[in-house]
């Protein structure tokens, strides 16, 4: 963050100086930017730093550039400045000549990214436009087979690293979203590419990632009711969570330490949350529903609390309790006289907020900040259900009918920007993974 502040201050000062010098240059040198592009600079709190990614000549340069641009754009923290090729050529002349930093600055860019494919991957250089010098440079390894799933995923890692250079915090491009479509469990990359089924049969429900991102726990409809199963993503093998009793077993979730799984188990009338204890191999009840339904658990990041849906007071509401089942509190206030209910909570990875769906006519996504406990509505168009936080605690994925059919959409909770993630009919029950890996980097700081 310190680095970002330094960069932005430098850029701001540089920009102020440049705006006067560049305008005078325009007059004297005729170094005008090509027509049809925007001009002007503005720096201040909350302003997204502008980045220009220069075209990459060698194969598969176009793919790398497209992925990087899209990832940085989807981060919603960086302003990717799209220029046509002739404009870009004017900014970066032929090899051996200097980059025209004053002109780059006039397009609002704080950083210029140049990448060059190498024998083992890609070499990336970031230029500090205001300072007119190299800011960071690094070599990233990429899988040999071009443009397959793993190769794309490795390029996402480069995007995240560039974001870290600029903002001091890794991006979330190198993450995936698990979801259910037609009873099959599927995965999709954070940019909406590489959608694929990871289970063969039907009847899969409510997926949740392990803290390491190596496996997914989900419930599956079997002969003896619903069972809790774990899918190992490396081997593709599915195993049943030990001693899941017959009957209703739904909405599993891993403890943040990965040591146990909590899910809702039907006890004759109603369902209670139970902890599948790896030590005893048995189940331990966590909620005392007394005939009501207690489902959809979600852990606080420190694993000390659980938020869940309970119908103990009649209509489903979101509650918080300590992980041992004590200290139960209602998360959201009842609206007296309003017959709404709230379900499917998801605790943000930074621990600050809980997102949930609220039914009051139709379903909408809401979030409540745990400090002030004031609920805020995030969606209003179509039906919006089952929110799941991205690892940055800023983006949410959810199922929505806003596009006509039920699809997964991503919302940036800070800017309010929506983007469609899936395009296969009936996608629902999304779960955003934790960060799935760091880019294989050899970094050279300047």
Partner 1 sequence: MNKFFRCGSLAVLLSGCYASSADLLKVQSEVSELRASGISADSARRLQLNDISRSLRALTDSISALNSRINALRSTSETEVSALRQDITQLQDLGGQSEQRLREMKATIEETARQPETVAEPGRTTAAPAPRPGPAQLLQVGREQLLRGSNAAARTAFADLMSRYPESEFAPEALFYTAQAFAAEGKPAAADSSYASLVTRFPSSRRIPTALYKRALHLASAGRRTESRRLLQDLVRRFPRSDEAALAEERLQSTR
Q: Which residues bind partner 1 (CB under 8 A)?
A: 282, 284-288, 290-292, 302, 304, 312-314, 317, 322, 324-330, 333-334, 351, 370-371
Nearer to partner 1, 287 or 307 (CB): 287
- CB nearer to partner 1: pick between 202 and 290: 290
Nearer to partner 1, 24 or 329 (CB): 329
Output 33 or 289, the one with its CB closest to partner 1.
289
Q: How far is the CB of 299 from partner 1 (least distance, A)?
A: 14
Interhelix angle for 149-167 vs 61-74, to 10°? 50
Looking at the Cβ atoms of 118 and 313, the one nearer to partner 1 is 313
Instruction: Give CA 104 to chain center in angstroms.
Output: 30
CA distances from 233 to 34, 203, 213, 359 (A): 49, 18, 8, 34
Q: How far is the CB of 329 from partner 1 (least distance, A)?
A: 6
Q: How far is the CB of 364 from partner 1 (least distance, A)?
A: 22
In whole angstroms, the minimum distance from the beta carbon of 371 to partner 1 comes to: 5
Work out whether strand 50-53 and strand 261-266 pair parallel, antiparallel, or are unpaired: unpaired
Q: Toward partner 1, which CB reaches closer, 198 or 267?
A: 267
209 closest CA partner among 58, 390, 337, 43: 390
**Min. distance of Cβ 281 from partner 1 in angstroms?**
12
Dump the DSSP string for 222-268: ETTEEEEEEEETTT--EEEPTTPPSB-EEEEEE-TTSS-EEEEEE-S
**How many residues are present in the chain?**
446
Token couple for 118: 């190498």
Q: Hey, is 429 helix, strand or coil? A: strand
> To the nearest whole angstrom, how small is the minimum distance from the Cβ of residue 83 to partner 1?
43
What 3-state DSSP class applies to 91?
helix
Task: For 225, list phi and psi in degrees, rounded to 5.
Answer: 95, -150
| Shortest Å, Cβ 294 to partner 1 | 11
Burial 301-335 (b: 16+ CB within 10 A, else e): eebebbbbbbbbeeebbbbbbebebeeeeebbeee
> 355 or 429, CB closer to partner 1?
355
């Amino acid at each position: 963050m310190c680095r970002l502040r330094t960069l932005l201050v430098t850029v701001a000062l540089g920009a102020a100086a440049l705006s006067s010098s560049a305008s005078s240059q325009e007059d004297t040198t005729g170094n005008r930017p090509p027509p049809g592009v925007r001009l002007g600079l503005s720096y201040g709190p909350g302003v997204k730093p502008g980045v220009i990614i220069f075209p990459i000549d060698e194969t598969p340069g176009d793919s790398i550039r497209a992925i990087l641009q899209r990832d940085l754009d989807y981060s919603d923290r960086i302003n990717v400045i799209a220029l046509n090729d002739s404009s870009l050529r004017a900014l970066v002349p032929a090899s051996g000549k200097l980059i025209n930093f004053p002109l780059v600055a006039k397009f609002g860019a704080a950083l210029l990214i140049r990448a060059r494919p190498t024998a083992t991957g890609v070499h990336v250089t970031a230029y500090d436009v205001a300072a007119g010098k190299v800011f960071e440079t690094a070599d990233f390894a990429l899988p040999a087979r071009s443009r397959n799933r793993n190769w794309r995923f490795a390029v996402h890692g480069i995007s995240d690293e560039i974001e870290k250079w600029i903002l001091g915090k890794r991006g979330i491009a190198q993450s995936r979203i698990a979801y259910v479509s037609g009873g099959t469990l599927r995965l999709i990359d954070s940019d909406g590419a590489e959608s694929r089924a990871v289970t063969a049969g039907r009847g899969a429900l409510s997926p949740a990632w392990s803290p390491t991102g190596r496996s997914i726990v989900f419930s599956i409809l079997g002969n003896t009711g619903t069972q809790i199963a774990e899918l190992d993503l490396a081997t593709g093998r599915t195993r049943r969570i030990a001693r899941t009793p017959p009957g209703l077993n739904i909405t599993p979730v891993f403890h943040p330490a990965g040591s146990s799984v909590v899910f809702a188990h039907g006890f004759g009338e109603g369902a209670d949350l139970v902890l599948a204890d790896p030590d005893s191999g048995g189940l331990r009840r966590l909620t005392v529903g007394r005939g009501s339904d207690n489902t959809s658990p979600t852990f606080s990041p420190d694993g000390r609390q659980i938020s869940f849906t309970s119908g103990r007071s009649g209509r489903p509401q979101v509650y918080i309790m300590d992980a041992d089942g004590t200290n139960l509190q209602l998360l959201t206030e009842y609206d007296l006289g309003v017959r709404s209910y709230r379900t499917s909570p998801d605790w943000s990875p930074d621990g600050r907020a809980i997102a949930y769906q609220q039914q009051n006519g139709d379903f909408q996504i809401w979030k409540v900040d745990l400090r002030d406990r004031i609920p805020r509505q995030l969606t209003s168009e179509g039906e919006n259900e089952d929110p799941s936080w991205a690892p940055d605690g800023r983006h949410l994925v959810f199922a929505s009918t806003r596009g006509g059919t039920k699809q997964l959409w991503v919302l940036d909770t800070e800017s309010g920007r929506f983007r469609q993630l899936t395009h296969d009919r009936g996608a629902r029950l999304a779960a955003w993974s934790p960060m799935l890996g760091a880019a294989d980097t050899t970094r050279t700081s300047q």
